[in-house]
């Protein structure tokens, strides 16, 4: 089964709608990462004979979500193919350029699904000339999978600035201490209002960073 058939649109929508209500703090972001793996282990049709050089490819897809209003902003970053180790993690880099792929009230999850499709077919270009038992291999002949990389995290986003309007690219500044915490630790940093379920950062936390709502 290819990654494309996994339907990442409804998966991402369910995750984000459940964890991150609309009209939440403008300083709050939900950081969600995935990776796509495609592997050809090089075996012949019998599954035992090594017939060709194995080939494995992985793509990381990082999404930064903000929901300060009824609209959902989706920022996207995919590391360059030469990235290794912590270079795949935007928290360890200062040169990350985010692409704003959606700012919409209803169709925002479509943009997430399209990035999975885009990256999957980009990977498959590297596998298109592979042969098995003298026959061209099909996408279903490769071992494809998609996983959530680490756990979704709330992050304190000090600012997000537009750097190229036509390319819709932005830079994001995390706070100096990089307040990053798992969904299970929300009670330490976030609060809700009695009349809504939107997530707000506790005043004492905002005070630590010299900002307010």
pLDDT tens digits for 85-143? 889 988 888 888 999 999 999 889 899 999 999 999 999 999 999 999 999 999 889 99
> Which of the four pLDDT bands, split at 50, 70 and 90, describes residue 150?
confident
**Does residue 70 lie within any of the structural domains?**
yes
Whether 213 is in a domain gets the answer no
Q: How high is the pLDDT of residue 8?
A: 79
pLDDT at residue 188, as a whole number:
65
The distance from CA 15 to its chain's CA centroid, rounded to whole angstroms, is: 12
The residue range of the domain holding 7 is 3-208
Count of C-beta atoms within a 10 Å radius of residue 95? 7
Residue 150 lies inside a defined structural domain of this protein? yes
Segment 19-34, tens digit of pLDDT: 888 999 888 899 999 9
CB contact at 8 A, 23 and 67: yes
Note whether residue 22 is domain-resident.
yes
Classify the phi-psi angles of 136: left when phi > 0, otherwise alpha if psi is within -120 to 50, otherwise beta.
beta
Q: Is residue 36 included in any domain, yes or no? A: yes
In three-state form (DSSP H/G/I as H, E/B as E, the rest C), the secondary structure along 1-55 is CCHHHHCHHHHHHHHHHHHCCCCCCCCEEEEEEEEEEEEECCECCCCCCECCCCE
Quick check: is 151 in a domain? yes
Q: What is the spatial distance between Cα 27 and Cα 158, in angstroms, rounded to a whole number?
A: 6
60 inside domain: yes
> Looking at the domain assignment, is residue 92 inside a domain?
yes
Residue 67 is predicted with a pLDDT of: 93
For Cα atoms 172, 176, 179, give the angle at the middle one, nearest 5 degrees: 85
The number of folded domains in the chain is 1
Predicted pLDDT at 60: 94
């Amino acid at each position: 089964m290819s990654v494309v058939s996994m339907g990442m649109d409804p998966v991402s929508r369910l995750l984000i709608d459940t964890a991150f209500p609309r009209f939440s703090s403008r300083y709050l972001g939900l950081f969600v990462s995935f990776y796509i793996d495609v592997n050809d282990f090089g075996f012949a049709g019998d599954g035992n004979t090594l017939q060709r050089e194995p080939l494995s490819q992985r793509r990381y897809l990082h999404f930064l979500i903000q929901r300060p209003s009824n609209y959902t902003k989706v920022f996207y970053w995919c590391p360059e193919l030469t990235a290794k180790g912590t270079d795949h993690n935007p928290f360890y880099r200062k040169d990350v350029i985010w692409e704003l792929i959606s700012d919409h009230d209803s169709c925002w999850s479509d943009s997430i699904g399209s990035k999975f499709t885009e990256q999957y077919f980009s990977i498959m270009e590297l596998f298109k000339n592979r042969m098995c038992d003298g026959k061209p291999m099909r996408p279903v002949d490769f071992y494809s999978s998609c996983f959530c990389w680490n756990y979704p995290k709330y992050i304190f986003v000090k600012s997000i600035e537009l750097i190229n309007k036509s390319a819709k690219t932005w830079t994001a500044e995390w706070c100096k201490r990089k307040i990053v915490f798992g969904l299970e630790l929300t009670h330490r940093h976030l609060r809700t209002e009695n009349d809504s379920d939107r997530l707000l950062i506790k005043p004492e936390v905002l005070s630590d960073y010299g900002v307010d709502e």
